[in-house]
Amino acid sequence: MWACLAAMAVANRDMITAEIAYAAIGEIDKVRYINAIKDLPSKESKMAHILMFSGNIQEAETLLLQAGLIYQAIQINIDLYNWER
């Protein structure tokens, strides 16, 4: 049940609920990543990482590029070993 709640919360970009649900099922790596997202400096960067967390890599990259955060867009591809991009 917690896993379903976590998935639905991520799909709706409700990271507070997702954090609680992931903590309840012991997904500590996901809880840490959500906490890292909270510490990001810009709104665009936070949204891009939320999109990336939910599997929307292309949207995350597009958002970063539109916001002028080119280095972060490149870093996403490096972190994902996306060398073809």
Evaluate whether 32 touches 23 at the Cβ level (below 8 Å). no
Q: What percent of the chain has pLDDT over 70?
A: 99
Can you give the residue ranges of every domain in the chain? 1-39, 42-85
Tokens of 59: 């949207």
Give the three-state DSSP class for 50.
Answer: helix
User: What pTM does this model have?
Assistant: 0.84
Give the three-state DSSP class for 3.
Answer: helix
- Residue 55 carries which DSSP code? T
pLDDT for residue 1: 92
C-alpha torsion angle, residues 37, 28, 83, 42 (rounded to 10): 0
CA–chain centroid gap for 78, Å, is 15
Decide if pLDDT at 85 tops 80.
no
Predicted confidence (pLDDT) per residue in 36-70, tens digit? 999 998 999 999 999 999 999 999 999 999 999 99
pLDDT for residue 82: 87
